[in-house]
Amino acid sequence: MATWPLSNYVLPDGYSEKPPKNSLRTEMDEGPVKTRRRSIAARRPITAQKQMTKSDVAILDTFYTDTLVDGTLPFDWINARTGSSVEMMFVEEPVYESLGATFWMVSMKLEILP
């Protein structure tokens, strides 16, 4: 499996993670609402930002396009919150925003796989 190609993962202030939406809630005609767990294996959504140099952007772009076949394959990554190794996938294409001549802010929507 591919491994995240850059040494620094994300900016602490550009990272958000939330528990998976893994429950179903059903309104009843009468009585209390019923809830149940959807699955024992749910994906955990991640939003991350990272300031990168032009060369880092080129590495990420090649990683996403070629190594991950346009983001269709999973990869190993270090979770910024826990520090543990997790299996991830891109949910959407990375977005590259210019911060001037030298740096780019890269925004990513990812998910931790079960």
Summarised one tens digit per residue, pLDDT across range 49-103 is: 888 899 999 999 999 999 999 999 999 988 878 888 999 999 999 999 999 989 9
Domain that holds residue 15: 2-112
Domain count, the chain: 1
* 3-class DSSP assignment, residue 89: strand
pLDDT of residue 17: 84
Q: What is the pTM (predicted TM-score) of this model?
A: 0.78
* 3-class DSSP assignment, residue 54: helix
Residue 53: other Cβ atoms inside 10 A: 11
Instruction: Report yes or no: 92 and 79 within 8 Å, Cβ to Cβ.
Output: no
pLDDT of residue 50: 86
User: What is the DSSP code (8-state) at residue 69?
Assistant: T
Q: What would the pLDDT profile of 26-51 be if each residue is shown by its tens digit?
A: 999 998 998 888 777 888 999 988 88
